[in-house]
Amino acid sequence: MSKINAVITGIGGYVPEDKLTNDELSQMMDTSDEWITTRVGIKERRILKDHSKGASFLGIMAVKDLFSKKNVNPEEIEMVICTTSTPDRIFPSTASIIAEETGIKNAYAYDIQAACTGFIVAYTSAANYIETGRYKKILIVSTEKMSASVDYTDRGTAPLFGDGAGCALVEATNEEVGFVDSIIRNDGSGFKHLHMKAGGSARPASHETVENREHFVYQEGTHVYKNAVWDMSEVSAEIMKKNNLSADDVTWLIPHQANLRIIDAVVKRTDIPYEKVIINIQKYGNTSSASIPICLWEWEKQFKKGDTIILTAFGAGFIWGALYMKWGY
Ligand code: UT7
């Protein structure tokens, strides 16, 4: 019996219309287009301005985009895995809300919290379910309303993040395409350098936590930067070596879009030429776990069946990883 593979058969995406440019940010705080462009590589980011809508809205729009492009019967989807650091609420899962609103009635749905590495973790999980033969159709939705977690008085974090969502339908196939391998690592000592101080059970919301502005992203940027550079570069090189892939064998590299200088370091370490590297950070900033599927969404038409694609990401935890797949259509 031939092996069952887990292949992406469709991609959807959505970014809100409203843009927040570097020049607009410079009116709000002590920063400049020059600083943000040279230190991070971002020119603008998308913001969901409607305060009544959460990350589920972005995810629902991405799923509707997928359904409008591809003939999918929502009732055939067996599982919805949502990745988000900005869930609508602590519970229920954002995945349940997305499933309900998109007509997915015969699936179970749950969220994964793996910060910016969420898509790599979710696709690895989906592949494991599918390769066993128990599941055939799984929807991954990576959605982030980062603007809800960003302190727009903090110039150290406010310019970095944006809102958006991407989704991928993963199906069983006997063809030699789809998920091949992934390496995912964790280092919980990273906690102190990147976290949200309050809002969870360890420190529930109170007048004090609100007054102290503890419900926002707290990041020690330089420390996180150094770890991201090292870990994303090494894990990308490691997955290539483990699978006997040279830079020539790789068709596309899709790095998490956190900082252009981090992407440069991964490119240097892997020797993958720049024209094979997918970059859209200048338009969207860091959309956390949505950044990789948003890249897949934007480049979908340029991919060819059998293309060798490497994904890599690093995020809060710390959790980081790389994934090797063969494109399926
Ligand atoms: O996706 C999850 C993982 N997150 C990341 O991967 C983010 C990783 N970190 C980074 O990308 C970078 O560390 C940042 C972009 C956040 C910061 O860049 P940096 O080169 O590490 O700058 P820095 O924090 O060391 O700050 C350098 C200087 C400081 O001024 P002094 O002390 O040298 O006078 C900052 O106060 O730049 C100043 N600065 C700013 N200046 C203008 C910090 N933020 C800004 C700003 N505009 N927005």
CATH code (residue 227) = 3.40.47.10
Residue where a domain terminates, one of 144, 176, 208: 176
Active-site hit among 5, 167, 256, 280: 256
Helix ranges restricted to H, 271-316: 281-284, 291-299
> Residues 296, 264: one domain?
yes
> Residues 320, 278: one domain?
yes
User: How far is it, in rounded angstroms, from Cα 49 to Cα 176?
Assistant: 43
Q: Tell me the average confidence (pLDDT) per consecutive run of 10 residues in the chain, 329 residues long.
A: 93 98 97 98 98 98 97 96 98 98 98 98 98 98 98 97 98 98 98 98 98 98 97 98 98 98 97 97 98 98 98 98 98
* Residue-level pLDDT at 1: 66
Distance of CA 96 to the CA centre of its chain: 19
> Residues 142, 248: one domain?
no
> Residues 301, 247: one domain?
yes
Q: How many CB atoms lie within 10 A of CB 212?
A: 11
Mutate which of 225, 227, 256, 257 for ligand 1 pocket (most atoms within 8 A of beta carbon): 225
From ligand 1's centre to the CA of 289, what distance in Å?
21
SS (H, E, C) 250-275: CCEEEECCCCHHHHHHHHHHHCCCHH
> Residues 12, 157: one domain?
yes
Of 4, 301, 239, nearest in space to 138 by CA: 4
User: H/E element holding 180?
Assistant: strand 178-186
Q: Verify whether ligand 1 is closer than 6 Å to residue 31 (CB atom).
A: yes
> Residues 14, 159: one domain?
yes
User: How far is it, in rounded angstroms, from Cα 292 to Cα 286?
Assistant: 10
Q: Verify whether ligand 1 is closer than 6 Å to residue 25 (CB atom).
A: no
Dihedral sign from CA coordinates of 141, 146, 148, 149: positive
* Residue-level pLDDT at 169: 98
What is the C-alpha end-to-end distance of the chain, expressed in Å? 23
Q: Kindly give the pairing relationship between strand 79-83 and strand 108-112.
A: parallel
> Residues 307, 225: one domain?
yes
Atom of ligand 1 minimally distant from the CA of 115: 2
> Residues 38, 143: one domain?
yes
Give nearest CA residue, ligand 1 atom 38: 156
The yes-or-no answer on residue 256 being catalytic is yes
C-alpha R_g of the chain: 19
In this structure, which amino acid lies at residue 19? K
> Residues 88, 109: one domain?
yes
Residue where a domain terminates, one of 134, 153, 176: 176
Q: Is the CB of residue 307 less than 8 Å from the CB of residue 324?
A: no
Domain that holds residue 147: 5-176
Q: Verify whether ligand 1 is closer than 6 Å to residue 35 (CB atom).
A: yes
> Residues 291, 145: one domain?
no
Instruction: Say what the pTM is.
Output: 0.98
Atom of ligand 1 minimally distant from the CA of 286: 1
Q: Verify whether ligand 1 is closer than 6 Å to residue 117 (CB atom).
A: no
From ligand 1's centre to the CA of 279, what distance in Å?
20
Question: What is the token pair recorded at 206?
Answer: 């109170």
Active-site hit among 82, 116, 167, 295: 116
Q: Verify whether ligand 1 is closer than 6 Å to residue 162 (CB atom).
A: no
Domain count, the chain: 2
From ligand 1's centre to the CA of 164, what distance in Å?
23
The yes-or-no answer on residue 116 being catalytic is yes
> Residues 158, 228: one domain?
no
From ligand 1's centre to the CA of 139, what distance in Å?
36
* Residue-level pLDDT at 2: 84
> Residues 209, 131: one domain?
no
Residue where a domain terminates, one of 123, 144, 176: 176
Calculate the alpha carbon distances from 132 to 67, 77, 136, 167, 182 in Å. Answer: 26, 17, 10, 22, 17
The yes-or-no answer on residue 167 being catalytic is no
